Amino acid sequence: MINIHVQILLTILFWNSDCQIIPRIKECGLSCSQGIHCKSKPSSGVFNSFCHDAPASLPSMVLKSMKISTVMKCAQGSPCSLHLNIKGALSLDENIRGLEICSLSLDTQQSQCVNVRFARKKSKMLNGKKVQIQFNCIEVNVAQHIYVTVKTVPNYCEVKLSQEYYVEDCRNSDVGKYIPACSAGKFDYNVDRARKIISVNVSNFLRDQDYYIRLCHKWFTCEDVGAFAVIKGKESLKSVSLKYSQLLPCLCIEGWLAIPDARRIQLCPFENDTKALWDNIVYNPVTQTLAWEPACPVLVMVNLCRLMKSNDYCEDIQNSSRSSPEKQVKYSRVDTHPRLCMKFTTKQGSWVKCPFAHGEFPAWKMRTAAVAEQIQVFFTSQTKAQFSVFVCNRTQLASCESLGMHHSVSVGDSVSIAMSREMCGSTFCIQGWRTDVDYSVPLQICDIHCGFRGQTYSDGNPTKGMAHRMKSVHSLH
């Protein structure tokens, strides 16, 4: 329960930070309370870097406090900029002539310092009084990590205040809207599918600043696809050409200014090009494993299915459904028959891929011959295989109800099945499938014409001179 409260608190804090409005100033400056006249001038920080022992009369808490925030300077006709707003409290003392305020960028190790001096006569009159000082002329960059120190002048040892501070980044709505460094730019692109090149033109970004462009595959983060390109800020041409290997729905164009923690803009123009996702099917003949791995994250239902010869419909094979947002789908001990396929179903529709349809792997065939009151069933295959066969009644296109016992058959052998006259018709079929694998397509030979008392039938008409009729189911190519 405590963890939940902490997470909620952190979420609120981050939300407030992103939505916080940055106070505006028209001009930066220095101000002191109590009617103290103070002025500032830039300092190198070198002359006040060595400290001295403090006089015994100097109070230990002469520097009371320091608070740092960010302000935004927006002058008419100029872009807005960010500045540190440093507020401090000091007890005036005759041994202190002023303060030195320094900021050090922990990202670049660059420092800025300023000396704040008080009018000596006025400060002596208010000796021991607390004075508030505010200074907001130190300009900073977006998302900078700053270390601020306030020392006395002269620099008395162990009499100073220091604080780390993080400047708001482009996620802050106010900073993102008004600070030029947060302008991520605008893309125009053109795709040359023949050469597999995407040409990108960038506009609306900070002048004289370099700009990075890359292609990436968007998963949880956007992962690199090749090296990024650089558009030089000083060059007039603001376009680059990026090569790609395959147009995928997660292929995105990403761009950002060449500054620390710059806002990135992404354009993913191929989100509807899902066709290429279904090509990454691999079969391992040693382990008889059929696998598919998505090149992009996609919500998809995967099934093995049997391609029907009559209308190109693919009937799902039982117990083969898999859902895969981003992981590999794998089927072990798979039949390599040309009509065994993979079906991919998303919200946009279904796609069927038949990895064995081109005859690169051995396939099996089933034949029947009608002799007297029996049907003889043969299986042929280039590899060793075991089969099962039965008679069924096809009540629907993809449903065939068993009418008798199952018969086991090996390659090269045959099995005879007794057939009654009632079983010889258009709705009755002989169905066979492999039993030595986990996933096999059932093949059917239907509209069986049986031969009784020396006659055979073709399309329901008796034909003389025919001892039996043969039917075959062949591979689809």
DSSP 144-174: -EEEEEEEEES-BTT-EEEEEEE---TTSHH
How confident is the model over 253-262, as pLDDT tens digits?
Answer: 999 888 766 7
pLDDT for 214: 94
pLDDT for 39: 92
Sign of CA dihedral 423, 425, 427, 432: positive
Cα–Cα distance for residue pair 123/138, rounded to 1 Å: 25
DSSP code of residue 475: -
Cα–Cα distance for residue pair 416/400, rounded to 1 Å: 20
Low-confidence stretches of the chain (pLDDT beneath 70):
1-19, 45-47, 121-125, 260-261, 310-311, 324-326, 397-398, 425-426, 449-477
Q: Residue 128: is it exposed, middle or buried by C-beta count within 10 angstroms (0-12/13-18/19+)?
A: exposed
Per-position b or e across 205-225, b if 16+ CB within 10 A of its CB: bbeebebbbbbbbbeeebeeb
Cα–Cα distance for residue pair 292/280, rounded to 1 Å: 6
Q: Which residues contact 264 (CB under 8 A, 6 or more apart)?
A: 184, 254, 255, 256
Nearest-CA neighbor of 252 among 203, 228, 295, 217? Answer: 217
pLDDT for 2: 46
pLDDT for 240: 92
pLDDT for 473: 36
Cα–Cα distance for residue pair 473/432, rounded to 1 Å: 11
Q: Measuring CA to CA, how many Å separate 437 from each of 1, 256, 288, 440?
A: 50, 53, 9, 7
Nearest-CA neighbor of 355 among 289, 408, 399? Answer: 289
- State the pTM of this model: 0.57
